[in-house]
Amino acid sequence: MKRLAHLHLIAAGLVAAAPAIAQQATHLRDLDAASRATLSKDELQQLLPGATISRVTNRGNRNIWKNEPGGGFVASSDNRDRGSTMPTTARGQ
């Protein structure tokens, strides 16, 4: 019985702490304090060839960024926030 009460206390503590734990997102200012390193173009090309980054805006618009092996990139958007059915794509170096 004491063991069960002990587990309930642990569970209650975890539930109470969950919002604080979940809010510990990493921000650029946190990286500054942690002595972040700025990488050169060559270093990034070695680390990120073919990497794809995707995000959804608060309006539901999906943006995608894909790094190409040669150093270029493709940025695209589905334009849902504008009510459009036509996506937009652009290439860059």
pLDDT score, position 33? 65
Confidence of residue 76 (pLDDT cuts 50, 70, 90): very high
27/78: higher pLDDT: 78
Percent of the chain whose pLDDT exceeds 70: 59
CB atoms within 10 A of CB 70: 9
pLDDT tens, residue by residue, 8-38: 555 555 555 555 545 555 666 666 666 777 8
How is the beta sheet containing 62-67 ordered, strand by strand? 52-56, 62-67, 73-77, 88-92
pLDDT at residue 4, as a whole number: 46
Domain coordinates in residue numbering, the chain? 2-92
Of residues 78 and 49, more confidence is placed in 78
Output the pLDDT for position 5. 47
DSSP string for residues in the chain = -HHHHHHHHHHHHHHHHHHHHHT----HHHHHHTT--PPPHHHHHHH-TT-EEEEE-TTS-EEEEEE-TTS-EEEEE--GGGT-SS-EEEEE-
Q: What is the CA radius of gyration of the chain?
A: 22
Q: What percent of the chain has pLDDT over 90?
A: 5
